[in-house]
């Protein structure tokens, strides 16, 4: 192992602790007022409670409490579903505070679920500190998940299936996002559960398969072969020291964010791009379009941005600068709204 990788792992572990401390006191905010939205009526009936609740999801012989937020809407109106995944050393409640997708869900009428990983860190948060079992890659500690760890691709499929059964979900509008390790997990869902997820929007965590151990600058193509195209939007700071924008020599991360986005454009058979545009003073976009089934790819590159969630009100300053020039949550919802499953 190189000295660079050793130093990076120490920084990553310190940063994971920093994000846990930064959001340890964050509380769930009250639900916002509901705005009108077009109805999509089907044969289902929603039985999930409106507002915040915890739903037990049965998986592989165990029950897991999953945080769910349901907007006020007619019980037969089919609603989109967004799966929002926390970063390493955090939990679903922490992620709810960082993304604040619940407020947006009330306005735009979609269901948001914030599950929790099952690989434990030393506890400093009320709901514990957890990580996702991203297929085939190490944890932030540099070690691999222990044998018998929960299969989180299968678990998150089960989460969607249970919410679908009781939530009157529009199956063409199921999406995933996530922060850091949650972004890497959302990327894995696009690779391995493209039959479920129409689009993903990782923040500080986009991947397109595992890094090649013999060449960290590339991904192993065989580790991301979705059965159908998945639209991708992603947000990443150029000064991110946890998941570095240019990449690093670590199997948990590896190739650059630009390479990850370009790889998704290749997977989605995009014919145009990247087209570069200046979104704001410090944010530019790289867009690949004319893709199979309109599964576009958009990268929001935040100059000097840290390992943070653009637009969040949570103090993530130990992880670098947080831009307020864009709300990742608002932007990803606009992207999701335009990229339901086609075909």
Q: Which of 80, 50, 55 is nearest to 67 (CA)?
A: 55
| pTM given for the model | 0.90
User: Which residue reads 């990327």 in tokens?
Assistant: 187
Listing DSSP states for 278-331 in one string gives: E-SSSEEEEEEES-GGG--EEEEEETT--SS-TT--S--GGG-----S--HHHH
Lowest mean pLDDT of 7-16, 48-57, 209-218, 271-280, name the range.
Answer: 7-16
Which residues on adjacent β-strands are paired with residue 219? 211
pLDDT class of 140 with cuts at 50, 70, 90: confident
Q: Is the pLDDT reported for residue 7 higher than 70?
A: no
- Residue 27 banded pLDDT, cuts 50, 70, 90: very low
Helix 101-108 to helix 92-99 angle (10° resolution) is 60
pLDDT over 70 (residue 18): no
Q: Quick one: how far is CA 21 from the chain centroid?
A: 21
Name residue 265's beta-bridge partners.
none
pLDDT the model gives residue 258:
98
pLDDT tens digits, 286-314: 999 999 999 999 999 999 999 999 999 99
pLDDT digits (tens, 9 = 90+) for 166-216: 999 999 999 999 999 999 999 999 999 999 999 999 999 999 999 999 999
| Averaged pLDDT for residues 220-233 | 97
DSSP state of 1: -
Q: What is the mean pLDDT of residues 149-156?
A: 98
**Helical residues (DSSP H) of the chain, grouped into ranges:** 3-23, 92-99, 101-108, 152-167, 181-192, 257-267, 328-337
């Amino acid at each position: 192992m190189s000295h660079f990788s050793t130093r990076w792992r120490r920084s990553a572990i310190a940063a994971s602790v920093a994000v846990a401390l930064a959001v340890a006191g964050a509380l769930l905010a009250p639900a916002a007022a509901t705005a009108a939205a077009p109805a999509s009526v089907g044969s289902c009936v929603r039985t999930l409670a409106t507002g915040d609740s915890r739903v037990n999801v049965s998986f592989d012989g165990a029950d897991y409490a999953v945080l769910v937020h349901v907007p006020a809407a007619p019980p037969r109106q089919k609603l989109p579903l967004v799966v929002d995944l926390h970063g390493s050393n955090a939990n679903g409640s922490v992620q709810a505070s960082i993304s604040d997708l619940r407020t947006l869900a009330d306005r735009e009428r979609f269901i948001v679920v914030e599950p929790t990983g099952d690989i434990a860190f030393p506890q400093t948060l009320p709901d514990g500190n957890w990580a996702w079992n991203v297929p085939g890659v190490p944890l932030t500690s540099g070690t691999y998940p222990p044998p018998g760890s929960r299969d989180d691709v299968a678990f998150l499929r089960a989460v969607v299936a249970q919410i679908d059964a009781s939530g009157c979900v529009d199956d063409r509008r199921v999406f995933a996002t996530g922060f850091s390790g949650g972004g890497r997990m959302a990327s894995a869902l696009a690779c391995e559960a493209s039959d479920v997820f129409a689009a993903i929007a990782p923040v500080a965590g986009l991947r397109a398969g595992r890094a090649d151990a013999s060449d960290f600058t590339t991904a192993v193509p065989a580790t991301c072969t979705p059965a159908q195209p998945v639209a991708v939007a992603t947000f990443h700071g150029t000064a991110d020291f946890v998941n570095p924008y240019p990449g690093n020599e670590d199997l948990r991360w590896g190739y650059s964010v630009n390479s990850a986005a370009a790889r998704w454009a290749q997977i989605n058979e995009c014919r145009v791009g990247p087209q570069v545009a200046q979104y704001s003073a410090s944010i530019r976009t790289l867009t690949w379009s004319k893709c199979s089934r309109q599964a576009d790819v958009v990268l929001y590159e935040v100059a000097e941005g840290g390992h943070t969630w653009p637009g969040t009100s949570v103090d993530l300053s130990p992880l670098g600068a947080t831009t307020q020039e864009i709300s990742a949550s608002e932007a990803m919802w606009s992207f999701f709204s335009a990229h339901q499953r086609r075909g």
